[in-house]
Amino acid sequence: MDDEAREREDERSPRLHEPLDPEADEQPRLDPEVEARRVAAMSFVRRYGDPILKSRATPVDRFDDTLRRQVARMGGIMSDAFGVGLAAPQLGVSQRLLVYRVGQDAPVIALVNPEVEWSGDEEEAAEEGCLSIPGIQVDVERPVHVRVHARDEHGEDRLVEASGLEARVIQHEIDHLDGVLILDRTSREQRKEAIRTLRELEQAEEAA
């Protein structure tokens, strides 16, 4: 993406890595209580290298109180971790279930067994981060417009026609259900650089 196109993208919506990556350098200093909730929420999130993040999740076949409690739990963890989306495998649960919220005052939306019915021809590259790969941002190209069919936590049909940031978040989380990470979607150069950075971060954590 050239500089002019990138500027247009920044004007339209927040960059995806800002809500998805709570450990970005730009993150403002948090209130101690809020920071404690963020750290507690992040402790539930599986990190890069966990096998479940590379496995295809199992379809949901029971729409009961257990599922609805799981949706509520995921929404709470996502919010406390400053995420805009979260997939069940990121919490170690092999379910085709994701939650997302685009906009601070927007409701949390659950998509159960989501399937992309249609995606537009127009694609756009933008930086993405991931709660499961904190501290890393890479460029990922995705369709700008998608239509997704799913069910909600009560088993009712849900059809979402999304564009821009919402479409990107949904596609990012569906990737998690298929065992696909942002490192699988970026260039070889960015992937190598990201893995090098991850090793450096791990070494810094061990030394701390």
Count H helices and E strands in the chain, helices first.
Answer: 6, 7
Strand partners, 127: 139
Is 173 among the residues known to form the active site?
Answer: yes
Gap between the Cα atoms of 133 and 32, Å rounded: 23
From 173, 189, 200, 202, the catalytic residue: 173
Task: Count CA atoms closer than 13 A to 169's CA, side-chain side.
Answer: 32
Q: Three-state SS string across 50-91, please? A: CHHHHCCCECCCCCCHHHHHHHHHHHHHHHHCCCCEEEHHHH
Counted residue by residue, the chain has a size of 208
Gap between the Cα atoms of 81 and 59, Å rounded: 26
Is the Cα dihedral 160, 61, 101, 186 positive or negative?
A: negative
Assess contact for 149 and 157: CB atoms under 8 A: yes
Gap between the Cα atoms of 40 and 70, Å rounded: 17
Q: Which residues are part of the catalytic machinery?
A: 173
